[in-house]
Structure 1
């Protein structure tokens, strides 16, 4: 099968189209012929070795973290799916590799794709959808009437997050540029801050939660908008000791995380807030919930550009340029 691989970690390491063996399936796996995959920042962070402390892979490594496609074979203990089923999913972190023609994936990591979406639209959902759902329901317990700031509202995660937060009844503020204004407005954002002209930390206060997709200075400034007891969930900030303990990374890695995140810990204490680093978990059960949201018309996919598998280098270049509005999708079949 054709696949996009890397031979080692590094910022300048090339993405290469190679021939790889079709993966073998275990007794609880299904083999999926992939029709589409989407790109996410975690893909190039993995390539550059930025998450080696949390995930370390063997090479050659097939990249890609979410997909849609058709099941062609099932393991002997699989009961929920059959060949011919159209599915979407996010494979577990030890078994990534969706930028390929086939993938073997555990049955618990997939679900039937939403019937009102095509394969390209369905492929844009799993990672951003699960990330947002887990942030809002498992961590923040977002309630109707609460106020949340969602950073980078026109991005892949942001476009999904605005819609889910509004459906849950929250008041949504978001940051966007002039080019993203109409998009985030159409998705339901209540307050839009032009980050190129305005400072969100000077305009907002008393917020219950912040959903951070940027990290760095934006994350640090976000503490200022929270009310006492407020919470921040970040997918781009530094993991902290709390995450290390929850993820059972061991005392050494947890100690390292405690040291590198000490500035965030100080901000937690200063603003009487709680910081959570989110490393999303695959979940077919939650994909089933998202399918219901989508088929009910509450959430729609937002796709900026589509590329073919042999255009993956151009696709990553576009995504890393930072101007994508919504998701970048790779059409494979």
Structure 2
């Protein structure tokens, strides 16, 4: 789970998310196929899979989920299912941001704001795997992690002003504040992939970003809805060693309130994972 789940639970995106509140949560999962619906031939009972709930649908925090076969891919052979559960949403988001939206090229300079979080920690890894020079902004307590993940430069966002950073070909923004100051750091032909909104004023921030996107083609935005090929491509990237999960803490489902308290407090390293088996232990 990442910070976006706390925002959804709080109802801050009520107008953009289908279904009534209160509602179930959870977007990605890993596990075994236990049954097949009519006409499903791509999978067999017992297969190890990972995947995502349908776009703008939730409910992965459960012992069993029912999803279209197109929302699944083979789970990576080099990860446990517990580790794999941390990756489908964040991993496909990071891949789409750097490939389809930013078109990151080897040798380019990449800045990642929120570099220790669920998506940011993966963008750092993929950026390095793609041959970029990576600068990560994160809290001081997480700079060691950002460096370990492959960043060439890791800086404390609290003490680093945008104008001190130099210029970048690609910026992946996972914070959502001070967008103008970071746009000024783009090179000619630079691209910013904006993946977050200001948590203190979400609707205003969303509207402002959409208006900017309409007039400034340097800004790239998207709502992650990966194709079956993208989910399978994430499996390939993990098995190739280009990306690995970053898990802060593993909780039972009974610990979900504490998970949300931590998400709202910030500073999470990667993702919290819910292990349904712990409630049955």
TM-score by length of 1: 0.76
Map of 1:216 onto structure 2: 177
Map of 1:137 onto structure 2: 99
**Structure 1 counterpart SS, 2:35:** strand
1:73-92 superposed matches below 5 A: 73-92=35-54
1:264-288 deviations in Å (ceiling 9; x for gaps): 629965xxx6112221013332121
Displaced runs of 4 or more, over 3 A: 256-259, 266-269
Question: Could you say if the C-alpha distance between residues 99 and 301 of structure 1 is closer, same or farther in structure 2, counting changes exceeding 3 Å?
Answer: same
1:291 to 2:252 alignment: no
Q: Distance in 1 between matches of 2:159 and 2:21?
A: 44
More strand by share: 1
Map of 2:68 onto structure 1: 106
- Deviation of 1:51 after TM superposition, in Å, equals 2.2
Question: Could you say if the C-alpha distance between residues 188 and 161 of structure 1 is closer, same or farther in structure 2, counting changes exceeding 3 Å?
Answer: same
- Deviation of 1:204 after TM superposition, in Å, equals 2.2
- Choose from 70, 75, 78 the match for 1:116: 78
How many residue pairs get aligned? The number is: 273
- Choose from 195, 202, 212 the match for 2:163: 202
Q: Which runs of 5+ in 1 are unaligned?
A: 1-38, 239-255
Q: Contact 2:197 / 2:206 at 8 angstroms: preserved in 1?
A: no
Q: Distance in 2 between matches of 1:262 and 1:165?
A: 24
Q: Which runs of 5+ in 2 are unaligned?
A: none
1:311 to 2:268 alignment: no
Q: Contact 1:129 / 1:160 at 8 angstroms: preserved in 2?
A: yes
- Choose from 182, 199, 208 the match for 1:261: 208
Q: Contact 2:253 / 2:275 at 8 angstroms: preserved in 1?
A: yes
Question: Could you say if the C-alpha distance between residues 59 and 73 of structure 1 is closer, same or farther in structure 2, counting changes exceeding 3 Å?
Answer: farther
Map of 1:178 onto structure 2: 140
Map of 1:248 onto structure 2: none
